[in-house]
A and B are shown apart, each in its own frame.
Chain A
Amino acid sequence: MTITVSPLIIFLASILTSNMILSNFLGMCSYISISGEYKTASSLGKSVTLVMVFTTIINYWVNKLLIVPLGLEYLQYILFIMIIAASVQIIEMAMDRLLPDLHVKLGIFLPLITVNCAILGTTLFMVIRDYSFIQSVLFGLGSGIGWWLAISALAAIREKMGKAKLPKGLEGPGIAFIITGIMALAFIGFSGIFSIT
């Protein structure tokens, strides 16, 4: 990509217009299965944001200093996924030491995040779009916040819907997808403001 997009635009666009869930469909597995309760969903969103920023920073430098100079593009996926797995471990250990309260709250989600497609997706988008360092960090942060926003919104709606009567087959994941569809429709309203593709 030759045109450089302002990092701030990338940040806002990755929250609103190119939201990881609502327009790129990434991280759906945990998004659907852990959105029953607002509190848990929100803590998962926070940990995803944390891991996303951390891994984009590391993967950016690994890609720049290791993969590109050595011509290892074919090993990209393996290296990225290993770095993600390792950084999740490191974050977990560091958190255990430094912020034990937070670790108790988020602990169970951290291992799950390794296989969250949104994390690997962010890294791959960053590499494909050839972002600079500041762009990448803000892209990671924005994608994380966007993911958090979407899962919290869905969880809040599902909690309110607990009392509503639904057709039997639609309960659970079925209605979650329909709600997400309506949310995605609403987010399309932002699409004129900024765009990154």
Chain B
Amino acid sequence: MTEKVRDVISRNVWKENQVLRMILGICSSLAVTNLMVNSLVMGLGLTFVTALSSLTISLLRNAIPHRVRMIVQTLIIAAYVILVDIFLKANMTDISKALGPYVGLIITNCIIMGRAEAYAQKNPPLLSMLDGFFAGIGYTIVLLIIALFREFLGFGTIFGFNVNFIGFETWTIMVMPPAAFFLIGILIWITSNMFAKGKASKAK
């Protein structure tokens, strides 16, 4: 049951978007979305880890004994996360500080484990890598959407550039935790409405 590449892309980015449809990987997606730069780095880091750990797990899928697979997968993921962490510490010290423990927490991000369990276990390496890659891209897009609203309304900036031309009062609440919960709730609402409509029009 090999899928076409196009299906892999549309499934991971939209139809089964990990954050909005599967409700996975929420922890980090809320914590880092107060600035767009942080979200972009976080998203790319996660994409990197998901793609490569899916590839590795898929390559080893026949060699890993079934009963210890969880711990093996966790170790593989942890190894890649350490790479990301060291890279960020060396090249982007500020962002690495701002992200704090959330880089290390990529290890326990359910998206990676979910992709490994649900896909890389049963599929060939290259396809698994693509699957992981686009799952990460879907995640990054959602992060950027949330961060766009939070940064624009909270600081009046986008990617650090001032775009507050009208000079409106910035909403402190947007950079605080509650706004993240409201925004993701609303995004989930919008997407599930869109899917409900799509289904209804197909039924006709």
A47 to B109, CA, bound (A): 20
Knowing A77-B81, A128-B100 touch, does A24 contact B196 (C-beta < 8 A)?
A: no
Q: Which of these, A117, A169, A175, A178, contacts B105 with CB under 8 Å?
A: A117
Nearest residue (CB) in B for A80 is B104
Cβ-defined contact, B26 with A77, below 8 A: no
Cβ-defined contact, A181 with B182, below 8 A: yes
Contacts of A128 in B (CB 8 A): 100-101
- Cβ of B170 under 8 Å from chain A: no
Q: Which of these, A114, A116, A169, contacts B196 with CB under 8 Å?
A: A169
25 residue pairs A–B, Cβ–Cβ below 8 Å: A22-B177, A25-B26, A25-B180, A28-B26, A28-B27, A76-B104, A77-B104, A82-B75, A114-B70, A116-B108, A117-B28, A117-B108, A119-B108, A124-B101, A168-B193, A169-B191, A170-B185, A174-B185, A174-B186, A177-B182, A181-B178, A181-B179, A181-B180, A182-B178, A188-B176
Cβ-defined contact, A181 with B108, below 8 A: no
- Cβ of A32 under 8 Å from chain B: yes
Contacts of B101 in A (CB 8 A): 121, 124-125, 128
- Cβ of A78 under 8 Å from chain B: yes
Knowing A124-B105, A170-B189 touch, does A25 contact B82 (C-beta < 8 A)?
A: no
A78 to B185, CA, bound (A): 33
In the assembled complex, how far is the CB of residue A130 from the closest CB belonging to chain B, in whole angstroms? 13
Majority SS at the chain B contact face: helix
Cβ-defined contact, A121 with B105, below 8 A: yes
Majority SS at the chain A contact face: helix
Q: Which of these, A24, A120, A176, contacts B104 with CB under 8 Å?
A: A120
Chain B positions 84-108 with a Cβ under 8 Å from a chain A Cβ = 85-86, 100-101, 104-105, 107-108
Question: How many chain-A residues does the 8 Å CB contact rule pick out?
Answer: 44
Cβ-defined contact, A29 with B185, below 8 A: no
Cβ-defined contact, B85 with A77, below 8 A: yes
Contacts of A26 in B (CB 8 A): 27, 31, 105
A121 to B105, CA, bound (A): 7
- Cβ of B24 under 8 Å from chain A: yes
Contacts of B78 in A (CB 8 A): 77-78, 81
